[in-house]
Amino acid sequence: MSIKDKIIFGVLIIIIAAGGYFQWLSDDMKARMDVLNQNDQEHLDVIDKEFREDLRNLNLRFEGRGKHIRKAQQDIIVNTNLINTTASELNDKIDEVQYNLDEYSRITDLKIDKANNALNDLQNSFDSQRRQNRRKFSDIEQTITQLQNNVKELHEPKDDGKKKKK
């Protein structure tokens, strides 16, 4: 036998030993799982029994309270209807207030436009009156200047010949 055959046999023995170890671990885990499953089943039976007993006790306690539950359900329906009615009324009132606000806004805008137009008309009238007053004032100044010149002419002596002789 060669060294190569010995190595192959050695590896084969190690693989068989590892396979045996893993088989032993698997069998041990299966045995544990069987014990755990059996304990779990016993525990579930106890829990189910306790739960059924507690549920029976609750059913006994709540028998006769069905009318209270029905009254509560009816109260909920009545309250829901009241809420819906109130919401509808509020929506109507909100729509009415919105309409009134829109109407007020429209009327106010018209009044503001009229006031602006009246203000523009007054401004134009004032400007026209101011131009007329300036023209009149200018005419009065010219007339005063002419009158002053005429008065000066009247007050000046008419000694044109005498002044020239001197």
pLDDT tens readout for residues 100-117 = 999 999 999 999 999 999
**The dihedral sign for the CA sequence 59, 65, 67, 68:** negative
pLDDT tens profile 48-60: 788 788 777 776 6
Given a cut of 60, whether residue 137 has pLDDT beyond it is yes
In which region does residue 142 sit, left (phi positive, over 0), alpha (psi from -120 to 50) or beta (all else)? alpha
Q: Residue 39, SS3?
A: helix
Given a cut of 70, whether residue 76 has pLDDT beyond it is yes
Of 30-34, 70-74, 146-150, which range is least confident? Answer: 70-74
Q: What does pTM read for this prediction? A: 0.38
